[in-house]
Structure 1
Amino acid sequence: MNEVTTTGQNVDVAIEAALHELQTTKENVEVYIIDEGKKGLFGLFGTKPAIVRVQLKIDPITAVKEYLQTLVQHMGVSTTIEVLNKNRVIEINITGENVAKLIGKRGQTLNALQLLTQLAANKLIAQHVTVFINVGHYREQRRQILIKLASRLADQVVKTNKTVKLEPMPSFERKIVHHTLSKDRRVSTYSEGNEPNRYVVIESTNNK
């Protein structure tokens, strides 16, 4: 229960009743006064109780963690979720049994979880944040795979003089490919297509 509406002889009494029901203190809530109430004649006739709505303040990091926990539980996976907030970047690491189910083919399931959590986080947090989710050491392994793939395809492009289009991937993975080949003067890279089907193109500089 995150919110209650209570009544009392005055606003303070109504707030105290709400705090007791929520089992918290005033520092942890937002108070909305619906009706300040009214004292009746001689304290009897025409008396009207005060009405307040009291809502627990949301800890955005906790809320993001709970949101993600709900998602993975629906997928039937038992996990431990660690959350770090670093300068508007929320880093989340998931560990546990059968977590491979959360990764999917080439990280597609993990990327979808990351996108959904990103959208949820920016509804809960006033300032824009970036969400980065890792499962075990998958992201690091994927990074090494992309670096090797980019280098191998660059060699292929130079050898055949034919442009290569990679499979669609999220922006942070495309950046890995662009960065890997940024100092290779034999080739150039750019992105084409629309999200979520945007992809990297590698072409020989001899074609220019």
Structure 2
Amino acid sequence: MDFVEAKGKTVDEAIFKGLEQMGLSLDEVEIEIVHEGGKGIFGLGKNAVVHLAKKQPVQAEKGAPEAFLSGLFERMGVEAECAAVEEDEKALKIEITGKDTAVLIGRRGDTLDALQYLTGLAVNKGREDYKKIMLDAENYREKRERTLEKLAKRLANTVAKTGKPITLEPMNPYERRILHATLQNHPRVETVSEGEEPYRRVVIRRKRRES
């Protein structure tokens, strides 16, 4: 049953009766209050009337990610546009351009990552086949990757010389993987991740000599 009209002495009672008829919970329906009840003509009581409709799963359609992001940009009050630049069955890459891209990137890409996460949730809602969403702006992802690679090599040289481990600031899993991959074949240092998300950090330390 996808739709019912329910009546009761109060709106709450009418909604409860409708949910019972449909066999659904409150978060599974859309509710329209037709009449709140109260006294009618000659002081006679008048029932509350509500319409309950089952929520339908949202299927991601072509253009849906861009429309979702455009709506977010409007609510945030930023001037930006987005367009799909690469797409296959498993992934969709979207490029953001415009006046306020710096705001959308945020500190160390935090805002961009949050937008990417929210867009992924919206696009994959109701889908059986998960599609990965990748957002970029002003080529930030590649620039950040190059910066982390340079940082890893510089700090590795410091650790190799001093013997003292260095613990970096918390990073997301993607950025930690870049550090690990950059130094995985280094002859004198190694990397490990320590701590719990979202405060997990990479530690660069000198390799232990084999006895």
Q: Same fold (TM over 0.5)?
A: yes
- Equivalent residues in 2 for 1:26-105, closer than 5 Å: 58-83=59-84, 84-105=86-107
Indicate the SS of the match to 1:162: coil
- 2:166 counterpart (164, 167, 175): 164
Q: How far apart, CA to CA, are the structure 1 residues paired with 2:168 and 2:152?
A: 9
Aligned to 2:180: 178
Q: CA deviation at 1:147?
A: 0.6
Change (3 A) 1:150 1:192: same
Bigger Cα displacement from structure 2, 145-154 vs 87-96: 87-96
Indicate the SS of the match to 2:63: helix
Q: CA deviation at 1:203?
A: 1.1
Does the 8 Å CA contact 2:65/2:123 hold for their aligned counterparts?
yes
Indicate the SS of the match to 1:206: coil
AA at the equivalent of 2:208 = N
Bigger Cα displacement from structure 2, 116-125 vs 172-181: 116-125
Q: CA deviation at 1:89?
A: 1.6
Q: CA deviation at 1:81?
A: 0.8
Q: CA deviation at 1:74?
A: 1.7
Does the 8 Å CA contact 2:57/2:126 hold for their aligned counterparts?
no
Aligned to 2:18: none
Question: Once superposed, what is the RMSD of the aligned Cα atoms?
Answer: 2.4
Does the 8 Å CA contact 2:159/2:166 hold for their aligned counterparts?
yes
Q: CA deviation at 1:93?
A: 0.7
Q: How far apart, CA to CA, are the structure 2 residues paired with 1:56 and 1:161?
A: 57
AA at the equivalent of 1:72 = F
1:45-68 C-alpha deviation (Å, 9 max, x unpaired): xxxxxxxx9x89844442222222
Q: CA deviation at 1:103?
A: 0.9
Indicate the SS of the match to 2:125: helix
AA at the equivalent of 2:81 = T
Q: CA deviation at 1:195?
A: 2.3
Change (3 A) 1:199 1:117: farther
Q: How far apart, CA to CA, are the structure 1 residues paired with 2:162 and 2:57?
A: 63
Aligned to 1:141: 143
Q: Percent same amino acid among aligned pairs?
A: 42
Aligned to 2:194: 192
Change (3 A) 1:165 1:138: same
Change (3 A) 1:70 1:151: same
AA at the equivalent of 1:97 = K
Q: Gaps (5+ residues) in structure 1?
A: 6-52
Aligned to 2:152: 150
Indicate the SS of the match to 2:208: helix
Give TM-score scaled by structure 1 length: 0.67
Change (3 A) 1:88 1:188: same
Does the 8 Å CA contact 1:158/1:186 hold for their aligned counterparts?
yes
Give TM-score scaled by structure 2 length: 0.66
